[in-house]
Structure 1
Amino acid sequence: MSSSSENENSEITKRMVAPYINGFSLRVYVFLLNYFPGFASLSFWNTGITALRKLNLDEVPTTLPLPLPKEYFGIEETKKVDGLEIFEENESAQQNYSSGFLCTSDFRKAYLTKKATPLQICEILIGKLDESLKRNPPLNAIIKFEREDIIKQATESTTRYANNCSLGPLDGVPIAVKDEVDVKGYETNVGTSFINRGVIAETDATVIDRLREKGAIIVGKTAMHEIGLGITGNNPSVCTSRNPYNVDHYAGGSSSGSASAVASGLCPITVGCDGGGSIRIPSAFCGIYGLKTSCGRFSSKGEIPLAPTVAVSGPMAATANDLALAYYVMAGKDEDDANTYYQPKPTLSGLFNTKDLSDLKIGIYTAWNKQVCNPAITLALNDFIEKLKLLGANIIEIDIPELEEARLAHLLTIGSEISTFAKQHKENFHKFNCESKSTISMFNFAKASDYVISQQLRTRFMRNLSNLFNKQVNLILTPSTAITAPKIYPNSLKYGEADLETLSNAMMFITFVNFSGLPAVSVPAGYDDNQLPIGLQFVAKWFDEATLLRIAKVSEEILGDKRKRPSNDYWFGDLIQE
């Protein structure tokens, strides 16, 4: 593999380029895909995936990117002064960098000082949820909520505070959940108009149950890109979420509603899922914090298995503290999910150590990072690098071999897995929107051998990354996306759109993390000339979310008061903030 210096004038990962299609033209395109197999075959070839067939690999396939125990040696496993109490013990270190965004500590203080009750807050929130869906255009963030259930939870939380027996910092805090994760009393439709229609979840997913145990108020389900097959949130089947910074732009996908809900101030925390950037992309587009956890860190019980070898759930939040808080509550082994047995105990070690980064080695792949499309992203990245140096961080130039091959292998893997899921509903295939149909039809031409080769490559790619983390760096820093939030074209709202170039630019720095099972965080890093948010991504070794959460707090302090609330928000901080 060539060194980064030799590659500076070439693409490290290739962009997929194809004509932009929407409206009636997209319907014609889908018709051709479905009724002329040769056309679908040509489309599959145009993805470049068939290049994997030329690889000569000897590795045993890795079908689930769980690291061997040696991969996480050195990660502190104790919870001593490391759990939820860490926020109380470090209260003096929690300078408010939220720039007006509400966080759990705001709710907590209001409840403890009797300035407001969870019931009062939730009654106001219900009104704001209604308002968000009735505006023109509707925000379409939290799209399903049950008033009586919210009031019931809020009443119980209010009673606990009145009796001085609250359940901790999450008690009474509103949290919404992506419609890919089971919430008791709700359908789990995964962004479709028909899957699980009329089927009400009788239990919560494990990660939701853990939030509820700490008193969080689950206020409803958020919108998403249909079956996770996209990065914009465009969903003609149900609704399209809007970006609170500019409602004429996408919120990102596929956890679009979760990002929009946090950025707009409806909730300080939401739950998303990430199979190809579906937490980090909308977090970057909406200017919030989003954590993609290690494979096997969160239980997948109660989550729809759209892409089980690359997708995980994770928290999205307005502030770094809340990201850490939600992570710690949701993480850990689950006896009902054997894949969680591999992990060390979750930790928040070093969370408030933000002034001295001399213990951190941060890898930068300069040639790769230069592939951004928006100059403002490059400026933000370079500014952060200089600020990290001033804090003592060691910035190291690195090379990551076979990034393009890993991109193709991830595309083959996630495309095959989601298409296989979709085929379980073949009797309702006609109800999928045009974008979903086109992708599903295209992956009919993937071979079983393509999937096996991809998993062989995963073995080698993980080994290379393991060597990189064990020998050179603690973190890797990239842009989250090569672009900021794309514009919504009105013609795309009825039938959807096919926009491979935007897809490619959004996922350029993202998918190697899903393919290898690594954890990563997207952090806000400023705004472009159109005042759309910019996100940067930090990647750590397996199960080292603690270092990611620490660097998220560092990033929050670097951005400081340059962070701005969006123009389209539902902030009600005047009710609870001092």
Structure 2
Amino acid sequence: MLADRSLPASDEVEEGDYLLRAPANPVYRGLKLKLFINLVVEGPLFRLFRGNIAKRLGVPQVLSKVDIPEAPMFVPEHWPLPVDVAGTVSVPASASPKERLEAAIEVIPNFLESSAAGRSPHRPGLREYHRAYTKGTCTPWDVASRIVKFLKSKPTYIFISWSGDDILRQAQESTQRYKEGRQLSVLDGVPFTIKDSIDAMPYETTGGTQHLHSWYSLGSRAATDWQHLCLVGF
């Protein structure tokens, strides 16, 4: 951005007293409010009235096209952190999604082998799915078929968008990989849902609201999160 002027750095400015003032806010209702918005706020006259409105609100000046020579606050002040904690595993930035997942599983002692103490049998987790798939007690196709049957049996508003054919296709491919012993990862074939603010091509993204529906992608993009999950068979 081209700046018309530049402000001095904060350490070069003498700090003054904070003046607490009661702002004289203009009050508009009904037709006056509509005219004010249409003619002033959204019209070419806003620049003429902006300074006067700001002063009435207690704002001494309005900054526009001004360079502020300050470091951005979102830059980490203590980065990178020293990795000296026992058991900490460092994963290189160039690692693939599968390599990152394997590194995460390795730092959990006996995660896939230990028993699921206290877990309800009606709420299986990653460990239970992986164990059942590898032992052959059930397949991703069996799980996906029950999910699709449930979704078709009664109207549900849990999911914005879903496709039974796509779910079964992915489950069939995952089942075949397990039969051939070439599953993509421990997440292969595990059912999951994704938040409606993440582009998951080919499903539409509405952002969870009809008001912003047209602002979001309609199944034309795939977010990085979604792509990585697909690469590990999730």
TM-score by length of 1: 0.25
Determine which of 120, 127, 138 is the counterpart of 1:116: 138
Cα separation, partners in 2 of 1:92 and 1:177, compared to 1, 3 Å: closer
Determine which of 152, 175, 180 is the counterpart of 1:163: 180
5 Å-filtered alignment, 1:143-182, equals 143-182=160-199
Counterparts of 2:209 and 2:69, CA distance in 1: 38
Partner amino acid, structure 1, of 2:137: K
5 Å-filtered alignment, 1:232-271, equals none
Aligned to 2:95: none
5 Å-filtered alignment, 1:52-451, equals 60=70, 62=72, 65-68=74-77, 70=79, 72-74=81-83, 76=88, 78-79=90-91, 82-86=103-107, 89-91=110-112, 95-100=116-121, 101-131=123-153, 134=155, 138=156, 140-193=157-210, 194-195=213-214, 199-201=218-220, 203-216=221-234
Aligned to 1:266: none
Partner amino acid, structure 2, of 1:199: L
Cα separation, partners in 2 of 1:97 and 1:210, compared to 1, 3 Å: farther
Size of the aligned set, in residue pairs, is: 165
Counterparts of 1:87 and 1:145, CA distance in 2: 33
Contact 2:177 2:183 in 1 (8 A): yes
Shift of 1:123: 1.0
Contact 2:204 2:217 in 1 (8 A): yes
Counterparts of 2:59 and 2:71, CA distance in 1: 14
Where 2:177 maps in the other structure, the secondary structure is helix
Counterparts of 2:205 and 2:163, CA distance in 1: 14
Partner amino acid, structure 2, of 1:207: D
Shift of 1:167: 1.3
Partner amino acid, structure 1, of 2:174: S
Cα separation, partners in 2 of 1:62 and 1:52, compared to 1, 3 Å: farther
**Using CA pairs below 8 Å that are at least 6 residues apart, which structure has the higher relative contact order?**
1
Counterparts of 1:52 and 1:92, CA distance in 2: 64
Shift of 1:83: 3.2
Cα separation, partners in 2 of 1:123 and 1:37, compared to 1, 3 Å: farther
Counterparts of 2:196 and 2:120, CA distance in 1: 29
5 Å-filtered alignment, 1:23-42, equals 35=34
Cα separation, partners in 2 of 1:36 and 1:117, compared to 1, 3 Å: farther
What 5-or-longer segments of structure 2 have no aligned partner?
1-29, 38-56, 61-67, 92-98
Shift of 1:125: 0.4
Shift of 1:97: 3.8
Cα separation, partners in 2 of 1:143 and 1:131, compared to 1, 3 Å: farther
What 5-or-longer segments of structure 1 have no aligned partner?
1-30, 39-49, 217-578
Aligned to 1:239: none
Shift of 1:143: 2.6
Cα separation, partners in 2 of 1:74 and 1:87, compared to 1, 3 Å: closer
Contact 1:180 1:188 in 2 (8 A): yes
Counterparts of 2:208 and 2:111, CA distance in 1: 40
Where 2:192 maps in the other structure, the secondary structure is strand
Cα separation, partners in 2 of 1:88 and 1:150, compared to 1, 3 Å: farther
Q: Percent identity?
A: 23
Contact 1:187 1:200 in 2 (8 A): yes
Aligned to 1:15: none
Shift of 1:211: 0.9
